[in-house]
Amino acid sequence: MTPKLISEGEVINGSSTNGYYELNGIHDNEILNESLNGSYTNGHNELNGIHDESLFTMQGFGTRAIHIGQEPDPYTGAVIPPISLSTTFKQSSIGNHKGYEYSRSSNPTRSAFEQAIASLEKGKYGIAFSSGSAVTATIVTTIGTGGHIISVNDVYGGTNRYFSKVASTQGISTTFTDLLNPHNIESAFRPDTKIVWVETPTNPTLRLVDIQKVAQITHNHGAILVVDNTFMSPYFQNPLELGADIVVHSVTKYINGHSDVVMGVAVMNDNSIYEKLRFLQNAMGAVPSPFDSWLANRGLKTLHVRMRQHQENALAIGKFLENNDKVEEVIYPGLESHPQHDLAKKQAKGFGGMLSFRIKGGFEAADSFLRNIKLFTLAESLGGVESLAEHPAKMTHAALTPEHREAVGVTDNLIRLSVGIEEVTDLIADLQQALEIAVPNNVKRI
């Protein structure tokens, strides 16, 4: 449909306009990209989460996080766009609507978030879901009965549970593979392999997968590569640029960043993948609320600032723990001791705020440590401004069999930290006092 240019002040259905294009009622700011008095504006296209790079002029991550999809309201001038809570939208005639008809299908507040996150992940299409698990379920549904998934073997416990206990009942099989060496994947491929599913860094052992190499192998076999980028956020890592077909996030974590939203998102460049996922999402009803979408968009605005502080604190804590005689091992990609430190520097712009370590003394020491932390909170999840600590073997990865946990390094003395943005001196002091209680001076390495 050719967009109709509406002149400023023209009255349509009793309302004056502000000089936007009308494309099924969705304003298209292409005209705003023209130079006005020698300066460029932040024009971009709001098409239900589709980010049109040709209309894009802002380069900085923080600038895009704050402005993409967030123009002042054209009718009131409100700097922060209001939440669109309406479930249904007026049609000027039968089938003629302004881009929105029913909020399960699409919603203006959700579209604004989808557009922003697509830009930050350097993708074209963003689809927001009701949770990260809903993203997983919807993507897996595209495979169909008889399909096969190859997954990194230390994938997030919830994803493992879905592959093993839900997808398997739908005739979809999964092979869990150690991808520390990308070429290990070759032997796992079958004629019915449709998807390769990767996390990097993995949860909770922070092992890395070479995205570019795995993408090449995956595409050689005609499959698509899905990368869970939750631990890194788009600020530190952009898997689409490295060859991934779909990037997924638990928005609950760093993207929202305040531990008050459950939400997920998928970003991609391929239109056929986008259309298939959008159709399934609408059919399955796996959509987030407008309020959650608004909160997530608010979180995006400070993502770049928060991620820098998360990383600064995590690196300082990693160095502290490395030099502490009550700690067996520290696992953090930002430390030179991490066996894949060079890969981390190659494929990402930073190292993130997640850190794991093995305490001396086994489960009893880990349990004592977690009972005695004061500033860190014993809780699952991650990525909020507050610091959290958890015991993967008994909490986030309890669904794994003991044999599987042992194979992927989820030992009884492993503790995972989601390092927040508090003052790092306070965080280190808390870790120190809890270690002093949990590990007597005579405890040796296990």
HSE, CB side, 13 Å, CA atoms: give it for residue 163. Answer: 23
Q: Tell me whether residue 104 is one of the annotated catalytic residues.
A: yes
Cα 133 to the chain's mean position, in Å? 12
Contact 262, 131 (CB under 8 A): yes
Q: How far is CA 175 from CA 57, 146, 185, 228, in A?
A: 43, 13, 10, 17
* Catalytic residue (one of 52, 228, 245, 412): 228
165 catalytic per annotation: no
Instruction: Considering the candidates 20, 125, 156, 162, report the single residue annotated as catalytic.
Output: 156
Phi/psi for 364 (5° steps) reads: -60, -40
Beta carbons of 410 and 204 less than 8 angstroms apart: yes
Spatial separation of the C-alpha atoms in residues 21 and 5, rounded to whole Å: 5
Euclidean distance between CA atoms 439 and 412, whole angstroms: 15
Helix (H, G, I), strand (E, B) or coil at 289: coil
Q: 154 an active-site residue?
A: no
| CA 125, chain centre distance (Å) | 14
User: DSSP string spanning 4-46?
Assistant: EEPPTT-EETTEE--S-EEETTEEEGGGGGS-BTTB-----B-
The upper half-sphere exposure of residue 435, i.e. CA atoms within 13 Å in the direction of its Cβ, equals 21
21, 98, 104, 192: the active-site residue: 104
Of 253, 326, 360, 405, which residue is the catalytic one? 253
Instruction: Give CA–CA dist 230/304, Å, rounded.
Output: 14
Please say if 213 is a catalytic residue: no
The one-letter amino acid at 100? Y
What 8-state DSSP symbol labels residue 90? -
- Measuring CA to CA, how many Å separate 325 from each of 335, 361, 424, 437? 17, 12, 20, 13
Q: Nearest Cα to 255, choosing from 307, 208, 206, 290?
A: 307
The residues annotated as belonging to the active site are 104, 156, 228, 253
